[in-house]
């Protein structure tokens, strides 16, 4: 594997660095925010197929997030 990543020795750095960048973008874009939610509330949220599929859960989650953010200010 290392032989195919470059002879100068920095190919593995670029491989793992690009993996970290890709995973950071994936986390930022696709993992939902759960800060300030109870474990029970997260169970309800993740038990549904998607939040958009269940508008009631989506609206309640939005309200919960707004309350947490309002508490920060």
In the predicted structure, residue 50 carries a pLDDT above the cut 70: no
72 in the same domain as 51: yes
Both 37 and 54 in a single domain? yes
pLDDT range class, residue 21, cuts 50, 70, 90: very high
Answer yes or no: do 45 and 69 share one domain: yes
Rounded to the nearest integer, the mean pLDDT of the chain is: 76
Instruction: Give the angle 47-45-34 at the CA atoms, nearest 5°.
Output: 135
Provide the residue range defining the domain that includes 20. 1-31
Mean pLDDT of 51-64: 71
Are residues 38 and 72 both part of a single domain? yes
pTM of the model: 0.44
Is the per-residue pLDDT at 14 higher than 60? yes
Asked if 26 and 46 sit in the same domain, the reply is: no
């Amino acid at each position: 594997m290392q032989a195919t990543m470059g002879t100068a020795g920095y190919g593995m750095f670029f491989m793992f660095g690009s993996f970290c960048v890709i995973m950071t973008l994936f986390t930022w874009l696709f993992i939902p925010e759960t800060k300030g939610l109870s474990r029970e509330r997260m169970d309800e949220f993740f038990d549904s197929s998607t939040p958009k599929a269940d508008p009631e859960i989506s609206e309640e989650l939005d309200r919960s997030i707004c309350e947490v953010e309002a508490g920060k200010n």
